[in-house]
Amino acid sequence: MRKNKYLLPLLLSCLLAPWALWAQVTPDSTAGRLSLEQCVEYALKNQAQVQQAQLEEEIGERQIRAQLSGWLPQVSANYALTHNLKRPQTVFGDQVITVGQKYTSNLNLQANQTLYSNDLLLASRAARFTRTALDLNTQSTKINTVVEVSKAFYNVLLSQEQLRILNENITRQEKQYRDARAQYEQGLVDKTDYQRASITLNSIKADRKRTQEAIKASTALLQELMGLPLGSSLSLAYDYNQMQQNILVDTTQNVTFANRVEFQQLRTQRQIQDLNTRYYRWGFLPTASAFVNYNPTYFSSTFSDIYRQAYPTSAVGLQVGIPIFQGGRRLQNVRISELQAQSLDVELTNIQRRINTEYQRALANYKSDYNDWLTLQENVRLAEEVYNVIRLQYNEGIKTYLELIVAETDLRTAQLNYYNSLYNVLASKLDVQRALGTIAVN
CA within 13 Å, CB half, 187: 0
Return the pLDDT at 50. Answer: 95
Same domain for 408 and 335? Answer: yes
What pLDDT is attached to residue 189? 67
The answer on 125 and 266 residing in a single domain is yes
Would you say residue 136 lies in a domain? Answer: yes
Contact 147, 439 (CB under 8 A): yes
Whether 384 is covered by a domain: the verdict is: yes
Is 208's pLDDT higher than 70? Answer: yes
- Asked if residue 13 is part of any domain, the answer here is no
Question: Cβ–Cβ contacts within 10 Å for residue 34, how many?
Answer: 24
Helix (H) or strand (E) holding 243: helix 240-245
User: What's the CATH code of the domain at 142?
Assistant: 1.20.1600.10
Residue at a domain's end among 278, 302, 321? 321
pLDDT tens digits along 292-343: 999 999 988 888 888 988 999 999 999 999 988 888 889 999 999 999 999 9
Note whether 53 and 167 are same-domain residues: yes
177 and 196 co-located in one domain: yes
pTM for the full predicted model: 0.82
Helix (H, G, I), strand (E, B) or coil at 33: strand
Instruction: List, for residues 55-66, the tens digit of each pLDDT value.
Output: 999 999 999 999
Q: Are 118 and 323 in contact (CB under 8 A)?
A: no
Q: What's residue 145's pLDDT?
A: 95
Percent of the chain with pLDDT over 90: 60
Name the pLDDT band for 12 (thresholds 50, 70, 90): very low
The answer to whether residues 246 and 102 belong to one domain is no
* Of residues 222 and 174, more confidently modeled: 222
Q: What is the pLDDT of residues 104-117, one digit of tens each?
A: 999 999 999 999 99
Segment 345-366 shows an average pLDDT of 95
Confidence category of residue 395, pLDDT binned at 50, 70, 90: confident
Q: Is residue 19 part of a domain?
A: no
Q: How far apart are CA 439 and CA 442, in angstroms?
A: 10
Within this chain, do residues 132 and 152 fall inside the same structural domain, yes or no? yes
Tally of domains in the chain = 2
Alpha-carbon span 292 to 111, nearest angstrom? 5
Residues 233 and 293 in one domain: no
Per the domain annotation, does 22 fall within a domain? no
The reply to whether 390 falls in a domain is yes
Kindly state whether residue 21 falls inside one of the protein's structural domains.
Answer: no
Count how many Cα atoms sit within 13 Å of the Cα of residue 145 in the half-sphere of its side chain: 30
Q: Among the ranges 25-34, 136-145, 176-185, 187-196, which has the highest mean pLDDT value?
A: 136-145
Are 383 and 333 members of one domain? yes
At residue 396, the pLDDT reads 80
Residue 41, sorted as left (phi over 0), alpha (psi -120 to 50) or beta, turns out to be alpha
Q: Is 150 domain-assigned?
A: yes
* 293, 185: one domain: no
Compute the distance between CA of residue 213 and CA of residue 206 in angstroms, rounded to an integer: 11
Examine the domain organization and report whether 58 and 134 are in the same domain: yes
Extract the runs of DSSP E, i.e. beta strands, from 223-286.
Answer: 235-236
Pair 47, 161 in one domain: yes
Task: Answer yes or no: do 206 and 238 share one domain.
Answer: yes
pLDDT at 442: 67
Residues of the domain holding 316? 80-114+288-321
Residue (of 404, 410, 405) closest to 389 by Cα position = 404
Pairwise CA distance, residues 190 & 183, whole Å: 8
Q: Return d(Cα 73, Cα 77) in angstroms, integer.
A: 13
